[in-house]
Structure 1
Amino acid sequence: MSTIRILLVDDHPIVREGYRRLLERQPGLSIVAEADTAATAYQAYKATAPDLALMDLSLPGVGGLEAIRHIRQWDKGARILVFTMHSAAAFALKAFEAGASGYVTKSSDAAELVRAVTIVARGGRALSDDVAREIAAERLGDGAALASELGPRETEILRLVASGRTTEEIAALLHLSAKTVQNYHYQIKSKIGARTDAHLVWLAMGAGLVERDSAISPIFQSF
């Protein structure tokens, strides 16, 4: 079996170091590059052409969903495994929609992560047990309907709005015009039936598209 070359993407150096040691102890796994933002992840992917990108979703500025989408636009065969603290079904579904091939939470044990790395690197799909249960539960409830209304880019813009980013900041992060961001913002509110920005974030939290801890903007606090 040839060595699986991995790009490790996480914004915390100590976390990256821990997972580097864990993965490189496994026969046939090698970390060939690291990144701490969506932009550096894209650059590192182009520079090293890894067999697999192991990607956190919580990155500064533009998040992991946008990084996945960007990498997949450049390389439609990219194999990306999300490894994140977010266990909500909506996050996993949006990651797959953006182009990920696997989704494992950081609460999973080491063996589950290593198994997922091997599966995704060889062209398969992987999902940790806790997320699989969340997806099954959501499909039986009402959350899936709202989540299905938004695409990956809309979900990323919603996340940035909820975290308190201004239209101009979002435009700069996503390399869009302010007018385009405003149009997305309006479309998002229309799609999920939000009356105000506070209501928008509230609905998104209820569907699992935005984690409560990340919704710290004055918009939400005033609801």
Structure 2
Amino acid sequence: MDKPISVVIVDDHQVVLDGFIARLELEPEIEVVGTASNGMEAIDVVNELTPDVILMDVSMPLMNGIDATRLIREEHPEAKVLMLTMHDNREYIMKVMQAGAVGYMLKEICSRRMVQAIKTVNQGSTYFCESVTQTLFNQEVVPAAQKPNPLSRREEAVLKLVAEGNSSKKIATLLNISYRTVETHRQNIKHKLDLHSTAELAKFALDKGLIN
């Protein structure tokens, strides 16, 4: 059997943590390797354990899940964060996506769908529960030119170098990061901006004033 999917759960309510652990411990393909009760603890736990998937609450003391997700993704661009929340309004969803989460689930999600979501994002796909998808598609679409820049500082740096014509290998050298990390950043940038070519990325960078 393949190695289980390692999961860290972040929530400030112990009863919620216990409930999620109880749901997942019956799954032989999933192993809960750690927990945290706020965003700051989450960063430390992820740095120590580098789990495959992080289940992250949105509203927590000291640091909320959106800010924690953004910081975790800057340090670990390969991290797969599934956001758990009671909220399904568009504002929360957009903030979560801009922070770099790859999924969004409401806390009342059934055990079967939670397991499905964890497996889905672990395989490199995104997962949004049905009500969240409806919320997104039932709202009017904002033209790309009017959208805020959703990129992290590191992603902006990578985008700037891509737009200037640098290869991933050269970018890795310039930023002192691995080639694989650069490629992950490039994929994340394309996903966040819904752009598919280097020319489109260069135009976005020019429009946002990242390059002259």
TM-score (norm 1): 0.62
Shift of 1:33: 0.6
Contact 2:8 2:33 survives alignment (8 Å): yes
Shift of 1:150: 7.7
- Alignment correspondent of 1:71: 72
Give the secondary-structure state (helix, strand or coil) at the position aligned to 2:138.
helix
Contact 1:66 1:152 survives alignment (8 Å): no
Q: Which amino acid letter does the alignment assign opposite residue 39 of structure 2?
A: A
Give the secondary-structure state (helix, strand or coil) at the position aligned to 1:91.
helix
Shift of 1:148: 4.5
- Alignment correspondent of 1:9: 10
Change (3 A) 1:96 1:127: same
Shift of 1:100: 0.5
- Alignment correspondent of 1:127: 128
Contact 1:4 1:52 survives alignment (8 Å): yes
Give the secondary-structure state (helix, strand or coil) at the position aligned to 1:30.
strand
Give the secondary-structure state (helix, strand or coil) at the position aligned to 2:84.
strand
Q: Which amino acid letter does the alignment assign opposite residue 132 of structure 1?
A: T
Question: In 2, Cα distance between the equivalents of 1:54 and 1:79?
Answer: 9
- Alignment correspondent of 1:20: 21
Question: In 2, Cα distance between the equivalents of 1:52 and 1:131?
Answer: 20
- Alignment correspondent of 1:114: 115
TM-score (norm 2): 0.65
Shift of 1:151: 5.2
CA RMSD, aligned part only? 2.2
- Alignment correspondent of 2:58: 57
- Alignment correspondent of 2:101: 100
Give the secondary-structure state (helix, strand or coil) at the position aligned to 1:5.
strand
The total of aligned residue pairs comes to 150
Give the secondary-structure state (helix, strand or coil) at the position aligned to 1:139.
coil
CA deviation digits over 1:151-174, x for unaligned, max 9?
599xxxxxxxxxxxxxxxxxxxxx
CA deviation digits over 1:106-154, x for unaligned, max 9?
13222111110110112110000000001111236x8x99x9448599x
Matches within 5 A, 1:130-149: 130-139=131-140, 148-149=147-148
Contact 2:57 2:83 survives alignment (8 Å): yes
Q: Which amino acid letter does the alignment assign opposite residue 93 of structure 1?
A: M
Give the secondary-structure state (helix, strand or coil) at the position aligned to 1:138.
coil
Contact 1:10 1:36 survives alignment (8 Å): yes
Question: In 2, Cα distance between the equivalents of 1:150 and 1:79?
Answer: 21
Structure 1 runs of 4+ aligned residues shifted over 4 Å read: 147-153
Structure 1: gaps (5+ residues): 154-223
